[in-house]
Amino acid sequence: CVSALMLTCLVSVCAFGQTAPAPQKAKELPPVPKKSNERPAETPANAAEPFDGASIEKMAAQCVTLETEAGVIEIEMLAESAPETVRNFLNLAATKAFDTTVFSRVVKDFVIQGGALYTSQNQTNALALRSRRTIPDEPNAVKHERGIVSMARPETPNGATTNFFILVGDGSHLDGKFAAFGRIRRGIEIVDAINKAPTEGDKPKEPVRITRATVTPCAK
């Protein structure tokens, strides 16, 4: 088609014995400024975290300490039962993602729930991206009983991100449906105190904040 069009133009010029007028130079438009909120061309890869690639044995030997406004809670990891859930939790604690977040949900005599990164006082773009990273579902044989730590998730399969809950009472109806991944090693009385605080529905009136989360080898 392009050749045919070029031939037609040449024939027209020759027939009239005239030189075709020089084409006018297109007026250059100023470059369109980039929007400050423009979506990047590619989604950045997940940043490397301390327990990426860690063995089950190494993860099982770690404990997470949550220093809260109500006291200290220490959690041992059940890595053999939920390895990817444990990896995610260890990474969140080790990278300080949990620091300054609150226990945002309390159901009396049942659970306290934390890990919502939007409650952090240290909001960054990296934290917002981390809050959307999902992990695979890992329902397992661990019984949901008092002192067990399990992963909260939406109804969407493989949709868990950063929220976790600690059981104060029996949760046997959750068995085989949620990824139980930890057990309270020290500080169950702190969990009880958080659970007894005044609420409006399941929202605590004065949410207890996690001031710092750390990962260390469990003391023997």
The mean pLDDT of 64-78, rounded to a whole number, is 99
Residue 111 counted as domain residue:
yes
The structure's pTM equals: 0.80
Reduced to 3 states, what is the DSSP secondary structure of residue 101? coil
Q: Residue 72: pLDDT above 70? A: yes
Q: Residue 80: pLDDT above 70? A: yes
Q: Predicted confidence band at 47 (pLDDT cuts at 50, 70, 90)?
A: confident
Residue 73 counted as domain residue:
yes
Residue 3 counted as domain residue:
no
Residue 199 counted as domain residue:
yes
Q: By the 8 A CB rule, do 61 and 217 touch?
A: yes
Q: Residue 201: pLDDT above 50? A: yes
Residue 31 counted as domain residue:
no
The mean pLDDT of 136-162, rounded to a whole number, is 98
Q: By the 8 A CB rule, do 102 and 120 touch?
A: no
Residue 136 counted as domain residue:
yes
**Token duo for residue 56:** 């089950």
Residue ranges making up the domain that contains 206: 56-217
**Token duo for residue 71:** 């006291």
Q: Residue 73: pLDDT above 70? A: yes
Q: Residue 76: pLDDT above 70? A: yes
Enumerate residues 6+ apart whose C-beta is below 8 A from 54.
87, 90
Q: What is the pLDDT of residues 98-131, one digit of tens each?
A: 999 999 999 999 999 999 999 999 999 999 999 9
Say how many domains are in the chain: 1
CATH code for position 84: 2.40.100.10
Among residues 90, 46, 131, 60, the alpha carbon closest in space to that of 213 is found at 90
Residue 76 counted as domain residue:
yes
Residue 108 counted as domain residue:
yes
pLDDT for residue 44 = 59
167: enclosing H helix or E strand: strand 164-167
Lowest mean pLDDT, pick from 31-45, 50-64, 72-86: 31-45
Among residues 136, 147, 135, 173, the alpha carbon closest in space to that of 78 is found at 147
**Token duo for residue 196:** 């007894």
Q: Predicted confidence band at 28 (pLDDT cuts at 50, 70, 90)?
A: low
Distance, C-alpha 216 to centroid of its chain: 22
